[in-house]
Amino acid sequence: MLSVVEYGQGAPLIIVHGLFGSARNWGVIAKRLSDTRRVIAVDMRNHGSSPWAAPHSYDAMAEDLAEVIGAYGGVAEVIGHSMGGKAAMVLALKFPNLVKRLVVADIAPVAYSHTQQGMIDAMRSVDLGAVATRGDADRLLAKVISEQGVRAFLLQSLDVKARAWRLNLDQLEADMAAILGFPDVPGHFDGPVLVLSGAASEYVTREHRPEFKRLFPAARFAKIPGAGHWLHAEKPREFEAACRAFLDAEAQK
């Protein structure tokens, strides 16, 4: 089963990170939401402490998540960001009885044309044999990535002592087309869905709404002002408040 980090008690809420992320990226938000729920943040396959496995497809990731939910009572609320949002959508479409409520953070059920290959190349460029501290790794990574925030995010997946990335870069590279795409999943999920995007992000547009509505008829849409794609990191309190308001309101119906 996937590696997980648990917080709190009560009905389960699964948090699913995006590409190159991990459960630890979500620690602050998970802890805050755990005041009324049992929050389970997962490491997706080929990330963090979870097994390395092929393929890195959304069908496989959805089955991984179904296994986790099965271990926590068989039904859960789910929050998924980016790649994790796509995996959560496929989970809801394939196993609708497992998902009570779904928050999709800044991603649409469509194929994207950009690539994340540059991030893989950047991580591979770091001479891990020359890394004794995280600062060493940051200085090496700075040669190819100028944005400090991006470097800090990637370096959360570096095991400095082991001098190794906690990411299966080879598998992620091999399946990049599938990660950027979205599978053709029959059916639809009729449960409550909040599509929460960053107002400054271009990942979710009005043109995506018909496809959301086809697959998720009850989908509602909201934006966080001033936030980009990494809305949970850029505006954590606003993100938490929006998720809490949606999940709690739906739970009371």
Closest CA to 204 of 226, 183, 221, 182: 221
HSE value, Cβ hemisphere, 13 Å, CA-based, for 251: 14
Among this protein's residues, is 127 annotated catalytic? no
Judge whether 170 counts as a catalytic residue: yes
Residue with tokens 């089955």: 63
Catalytic residue among 17, 47, 81, 229: 229
Catalytic residue among 82, 157, 197, 201: 82
> Exposed, middle or buried by CB within 10 Å (0-12, 13-18, 19+), for 177?
exposed
- 88, 65 contact by CB (below 8 A): yes
End-to-end CA distance of the chain: 33
The secondary structure of 144-199, three-state, reads: CCCCHHHHHHHHCCEECCCCEECECHHHHHHCHHHHHCCCCCCCCCCCCEEEEEEC
Alpha-carbon distance 107 to 189, whole Å?
17
| Reduced DSSP (H G I as helix, E B as strand, rest coil) percent helix, strand, coil of the chain, to 5 | 45, 20, 40
Is 229 a residue of the active site? yes
Query: What is the Cα–Cα distance from 13 to 101, expressed in whole angstroms?
Result: 9
Q: Which of 121, 170, 190, 248 is catalytic?
A: 170
Kindly list the catalytic residues.
Answer: 82, 170, 229
